[in-house]
Structure 1
């Protein structure tokens, strides 16, 4: 099987709204006019309604009801708006996937995104927006496999669940490529910035292909902490097993080890998008 065999099934690919794609393509453009972005967001009714529902939730405790994206931007700032738009756009990109419980899948992705952003804000080598975005899409390749090669995806899941193979080995054995490779190819098809796709492709093994990229390292750390949270690991064990070499490659100081407790209790505000 080739990755292109998956991508040719255009009727099965996730349907990411144009405004989300445009926003991601402009993440690193310092001259972007965000008024253009907010106007585009306003024209996407599904995303607008979801964003406004989250903005008006108890989490933000605003003194009055917000009725427009422009108002939301003024009160929350463009960074928070971007976060909500990207999360909403991806979580609505598919409605049903055999073998995946979508609310759980996206809740997991949102947590990785928040953790990646948390790490990025503590290193000069990574942009927080980019870290958040790669967190959202870090598992998009697995979603693609279930959409376009459902039987093989289920077979991989069975091997992993029965401890017959790790996920990377199972994917290589049955597909000839990994879900991270597939995710990179899908992001290339969407014309996302190359560094985002590279981070998704290499985050599981950031040292495998020479000099590690800081963005891939931040994503690796986010996935590590997410696994710790999912498994309810004791905070002392989290620190003991923390991949310090990866943190150093990400540009983080040694003191990051003493801040991990804060990351482990990050809020789950984005999950309101899934309601």
Structure 2
């Protein structure tokens, strides 16, 4: 009998441990009337997150002229938008301490970079909210994490199959588990009761046109993953522009001129790696 995604979710002791305050914050993202002051207060009481956030705020990346010692101060100086991204990134980066077959610093650094690229793209379209784009970038690969936590031996076999170029990751995962890590990620986000927009985007971003009408958020995530792979492989900027999926960009509501701005995206630095 083939494995089901639900079999992974039943192993509750294996699931990433994301703080409630982070999940509440994500649920508020799509609410224009959200009161973030209570969330900032909750963050203050979560010592792990607040210490990590303050460490980043006080880093050379932000270049502030004085030391910031409280979340309230950080909110005043940086604004709630920046604080939201730092809290969400920190909450996920600390959700697991060890995963067989995955180097967590590399995994989260990669996720943070996709998040930053997704947010950059969202700034260029009216169809996607930048906070939702950032968050979906952070969690876009959470399904792979879940698979490695729940089925480490099979997950490592999949890694080896992909590394040896015997199959694409999608094919290797479907052969080994009967489903992809994108579907596993979608089901985990649904299990956590995060907004449907995020869970669907995670599930659909690899093939945004497969389910009919493409979701702009899934398209932005698809493009962010493309750009991230280009950066990782040090692809020449002209080749990046040449290969940029314009049909996906159009579905995301991006202007055709976006290809001439890609150099800015390729040189992004988010300063978030210190959260790892």
Within the candidate set 236, 245, 261, 1:234 is matched to 236
Return the offset for 1:4.
Answer: 0.7
Match of 1:188 in 2: 190
TM-score, normalised via structure 2 length: 0.99
Return the offset for 1:229.
Answer: 0.2
Structure 1 residue runs of 4 or more that deviate by more than 6 Å after TM superposition:
none
TM-score, normalised via structure 1 length: 0.99
Within the candidate set 126, 138, 141, 2:140 is matched to 138
May I ask how many residue pairs the two structures share in their alignment?
A: 274
CA distance in 2, matches of 1:92, 1:219: 22
CA distance in 1, matches of 2:249, 2:187: 27
CA distance in 2, matches of 1:174, 1:148: 13
Return the offset for 1:268.
Answer: 3.3
Let me know the Cα RMSD of the aligned residues: 0.5
CA distance in 2, matches of 1:245, 1:173: 29
Match of 2:269 in 1: 267
Match of 1:90 in 2: 92
CA distance in 2, matches of 1:218, 1:105: 20
CA distance in 1, matches of 2:94, 2:105: 10
Match of 1:151 in 2: 153
Q: What 5-or-longer segments of structure 1 have no aligned partner?
A: none
Equivalent positions of 1:21-36 (< 5 A) are 21-36=23-38
Return the offset for 1:18.
Answer: 0.7
Within the candidate set 60, 67, 72, 1:58 is matched to 60
Equivalent positions of 1:215-234 (< 5 A) are 215-234=217-236
Return the offset for 1:241.
Answer: 0.4
Within the candidate set 209, 212, 237, 1:210 is matched to 212
Return the offset for 1:173.
Answer: 1.2
